[in-house]
Amino acid sequence: MNRGRPRSAGADVDDGPGRVLAVAIAGDVAIAACKFGAAALTGSSAMLAEGVHSLADIGNELLLAYGQRRGRRAIDQWHPFGYGKATYVWSLLVALSVFCVGGGITLHGGLVGLTTHPVTLSQPWWNYGVLAVAAAFEAWSLVVTRQELGRHRRPGESLWHAAQRNMDVLVYTVFVGDCAALVGLVVAALGVGLSHAFASRFFDPAAAILIGVVMIASAALLVRKSVGLLVGESMAGDQLALLRKIIAADPAVESVGHLQTMQLGSARMLLTAAVRFQRRLSLDEVEQAIARLEHAIRAPFPTIEHLYLESGALKQAAHAASAVARQAAPPA
């Protein structure tokens, strides 16, 4: 017999990821305008690549915002577990966009600049100013993202490990994008600086190629995360161990069998557990034990929206009660 009490898909919606996304979009709009302006003034391939990088980030963040909105739709008869996984679909499209559009175009532009039409930079100081402004905006976005990750960060845990463990693909995508953007800015600064220092036309397009490689590497990380969540990623092992400990601690529980969890969205989790209750318990006592377990589980794990406890003992009690009722019923 299964016992489930799913909550509304819109319950306890966290505005933290939305704030992270809004800050990222605002920063990238300002950064893209500055980068394209500097590229037009100086002819820098690296700055043009960085402008494409920021433009791709804006488009991707808008796709993520749309995916987040779709994922928050209420549960209906066609989607009884909600639409939370829609966010993962759109994050996968974002990753493919970063790989194909951002990385591909940037690599192509750098290769063309390196092999066919290398350009000598003019007024490179514009590039330095724009890169400094862009770094400030990206750092601002990264600080906001770190604050959001820090809310779920465990004592002694590295920020990167916290991001890998975080089930909110929106926050993860912005975090990876911010890190890639800062690396790209450093590469662009080196390309412009070396071209200026050595009066060479090749360092700048070479930097554009490296920026394309950085974008492709970040896209690979996003694809890996999105696919893992889309196909049904489980809770971490230590969280499963804690769940098992909570269930086993109830005096009505005799043993705990399998525990199965699946991520249904950024803050939505499905849990099924095979529990054997004490055989001496009545049906009402088992029902009371299940209610206690639901409360005990959801206290430390509020993201578990769908909770199903399956018990062989409960089935046996239900069958026994049904048999007694049939025997007591007068013949037709």
pLDDT over threshold 70, residue 93: yes
Do 284 and 305 lie in one domain? The reply is yes
In this structure, are 24 and 122 located in the same domain?
yes
> What is residue 66's predicted lDDT score, i.e. its pLDDT?
84
| Residues 209/118, Cβ–Cβ less than 8 Å | no
45 inside domain: yes
pLDDT score recorded for residue 248: 92
pLDDT tens digits along 217-265: 988 998 888 888 888 788 888 889 999 999 999 998 888 888 888 888 7
**Statement to judge: residues 202 and 58 lie in one domain:** yes
State whether 82 and 30 are in the same domain: yes
Of residues 253, 242, 226, the one with CA closest to residue 170: 226
Same domain, 204 and 145: yes
Amino acid 293: pLDDT:
92
Domain count, the chain: 2
Instruction: Tell me, yes or no, whether 212 and 133 share the same domain.
Output: yes
Contact assessment for residue 127 and residue 66, using Cβ atoms and an 8 Å cutoff: no
Is residue 170 located within the same domain as residue 221? yes
Q: Of 43 and 26, which is predicted with more confidence?
A: 26
Domain residues for the domain of 282 are 237-328
Pick from 7-21, 33-47, 78-92, 109-123: least confident: 7-21
Beta-ladder partners of 270: 262, 306
**What is the rounded CA–CA span in Å between residue 329 and residue 311?**
27
Residue 10 domain-assigned (yes or no)? no
Rounded to an integer, the average pLDDT of 41-67 is 78
Q: Residue 202 falls within a domain, yes or no?
A: yes
Contact 262, 232 (CB under 8 A): yes
Tell me the whole-structure pTM to 2 decimals. 0.72
DSSP string, 214-277: HHHHHHHHHHHHHHHHHT-PPPPHHHHHHHHHHHHTSTTEEEEEEEEEEEEETTEEEEEEEEEE
Per-residue model confidence (pLDDT) at position 193: 83
CB 305 within 8 Å of CB 269: yes
Q: Which of 165, 196, 230 is the last residue of a domain?
A: 230
Domain identity same for 94 and 127: yes
CATH code of the domain in which 265 resides: 3.30.70.1350
CA–CA gap between residue 188 and residue 182 (Å, rounded) = 10
The domain boundary residue, chosen from 194, 213, 230: 230
Which CATH number characterizes residue 63's domain?
1.20.1510.10
Which residue, chain included where needed, has tokens 């992270």?
20
Whether residue 3 lies inside any domain: the answer is no
The answer to whether 54 and 31 have CB atoms below 8 angstroms apart is yes
Measured distance CA(240)–CA(18) in Å, rounded: 28
pLDDT confidence band for 328 (50 / 70 / 90): low
Task: Confirm whether 271 is domain-assigned.
Answer: yes
Task: Looking at the structure, tell me whether residues 177 and 262 fall in a common domain.
Answer: no
Least confident of 56-60, 188-192, 316-320: 316-320
The residue from 185, 208, 230 where one domain ends is 230
Q: Is residue 11 part of a domain?
A: no
Average pLDDT over residues 156-172: 79
Based on the domain organization, do 170 and 272 belong to the same domain? no
Which pLDDT score, from 0 to 100, does residue 120 have? 57
Same domain for 204 and 298, yes or no, is no
Please report which confidence band the pLDDT of residue 33 belongs to, taking 50, 70 and 90 as the band edges: confident
The Cα 166–Cα 87 span in angstroms is 14
Contacts of 160 (CB under 8 A, 6+ apart): none
DSSP run (H or E) holding 304 = strand 304-310
Is there a single domain that holds both residue 37 and residue 111? yes
pLDDT tens digits, residue range 126-154? 777 888 888 888 888 888 888 888 877 87
* Residue 54 in domain: yes
Identify whether 4 is part of a domain: no
pLDDT band at 297 (very low <50, low <70, confident <90, very high): very high
CB neighbour class for 11 (10 Å; exposed up to 12, middle 13-18, buried from 19): exposed
